[in-house]
A = this chain, B = another copy of it.
Amino acid sequence: MLPHLTFVLGGASSGKSAFAEKLVFQSEADRVYIATSQVFDDEMRKKVDAHLTMRGDGWHTIECPLDAVTALHGIKSGEVVLFDCATMWLTNHMLADHNIDAQTDALLSALAACKGRVVMVSNEVGMGIVPDNKLARQFRDAQGKLNQRLAAASDLAVFVVAGLPMTLKGQLP
């Protein structure tokens, strides 16, 4: 059985979302999908559609680019949430020029108080060369700090590489 908070971290196209879905599917609980993407263009639309097809039926989907706190507040005991993903949530708040520390505090409180269990997906973005532009460097730092906080708050943390899990913390069910 999944613990209260599971953190699934991986690179781009690493299979992290598919792995997180598998974890949720193994659970008996009602499945809720918190979708954080904002679709601006065709490239994004294709990615979102591909994920939708991959997930299949049997999910209650909440579109939630910014206000994850309200969404998590509405989760019932016995539900299990796939939150995909922290990277998009962070991007949306940075684009909206919100205070990231305050938003992260609120997110972590909402995760701790959530009545259901949550599997949170996020991207590792800090293992390339230093980006040229300042915004990219700021995003990289913010994502790294967010990942550290989510990992620290989680009961189970998994690093997905080429579709295969390495356990950072806790134990896979």
Binding site for B on A (CB under 8 A): 7, 9-15, 43, 124-131, 134, 136-137, 139-145, 147-148, 150-152, 157, 159, 161-164, 166, 168-169
Contact = CB atoms under 8 A, between A and B. Distances in A.
Contacts of A151: 161-164
A150 B124 CA distance: 21
Contact of A128 (B7, B128, B150, B162): B128
User: Which 3 A-B pairs have CB atoms at the shortest separation, nearest pair first?
Assistant: A128-B128, A13-B144, A11-B126
A60 to B, nearest CB: 28
A interface majority secondary structure: mixed
Contact of A144 (B7, B14, B166): B14
A140 B43 CA distance: 14
A15 B148 contact: yes
A163 B159 contact: no
Copies in the complex: 3
Contact of A9 (B7, B9, B152, B161): B161
A101 to B, nearest CB: 13
16 contacts: A10-B126, A11-B124, A12-B144, A13-B143, A13-B144, A13-B148, A126-B127, A148-B162, A148-B163, A151-B163, A152-B163, A157-B162, A157-B164, A159-B166, A161-B168, A164-B168
Nearest to A164: B168
A167 to B, nearest CB: 9
